[in-house]
Amino acid sequence: MPCRPLLAAAAVAALAQPAAADPFEDFGTAMKYGLPLAAAVCAARDDRLEDFAVRGALQTVVVLGLKTWLDGTPVSVRPTGEGKGFPSGHSAAAAFGAADLAGKCFPDNRATGIGLYGAAGLTAASRVRAGEHTSQQALTGALIGFSFGAADFGIGTEGASFSVGMRF
């Protein structure tokens, strides 16, 4: 079954999380790591790991760059009053993994796509519920991650593309 390595990677990421009081927040943290890890396994299997790594690194640079550049501005203030809240890195990482998986690993499987994007959406919601981000911060992170995850820069392939999966 081609899906087994992906499920195993997600399970390992979920089990590697420390125990905390809020299972919903734990779920969000597990998806921050689990979805990109599962996408990396798929990218390696499909011989597109270099493109995946470049897109993942750029997504991280954009998120961390915005956090640093906008620190001290009203948009970057977290609900806790701390800074560097814009955009949400958890939301970006989960959406990146979900978009890569849905668009490249399971492009014709609507149910899987819905589950992956749903998990990424719940990750964003968990950050808002935990009081770590505003909904604007979480949504912006998700959009950045989605954009880089759905993209294909064409490194090692025949051309660049943009695929969200869930073909109808």
User: In this structure, is residue 69 part of a structural domain?
Assistant: yes
Return d(Cα 73, Cα 21) in angstroms, integer: 31
* pLDDT single digits (tens) 127-142: 999 999 999 999 999 9
Return d(Cα 148, Cα 84) in angstroms, integer: 21
User: In this structure, is residue 62 part of a structural domain?
Assistant: yes
Return d(Cα 66, Cα 78) in angstroms, integer: 14
The rounded mean pLDDT for the chain is 89
Number of domains observed in the structure of the chain:
1
Tokens 């790594």 sit on residue: 53
User: In this structure, is residue 149 part of a structural domain?
Assistant: yes
User: In this structure, is residue 119 part of a structural domain?
Assistant: yes
DSSP 151: E
* pLDDT single digits (tens) 8-33: 555 555 555 555 568 989 999 999 99
Return d(Cα 60, Cα 55) in angstroms, integer: 9
User: In this structure, is residue 168 part of a structural domain?
Assistant: no
Q: For residue 143, give its domain range.
A: 4-162
Predicted TM-score (pTM) of the model is 0.86
- The residue among 46 and 13 whose pLDDT is bigger is 46
User: In this structure, is residue 143 part of a structural domain?
Assistant: yes
User: In this structure, is residue 167 part of a structural domain?
Assistant: no
- Cis before 87 (ω within 30): yes
* pLDDT single digits (tens) 55-101: 999 999 999 999 999 999 999 999 999 999 999 999 999 999 999 99
* pLDDT single digits (tens) 101-154: 999 999 999 999 999 999 999 999 999 999 999 999 999 999 999 999 999 998
* pLDDT single digits (tens) 30-41: 999 999 999 999
**What amino acid is encoded at 4 in this protein?**
R
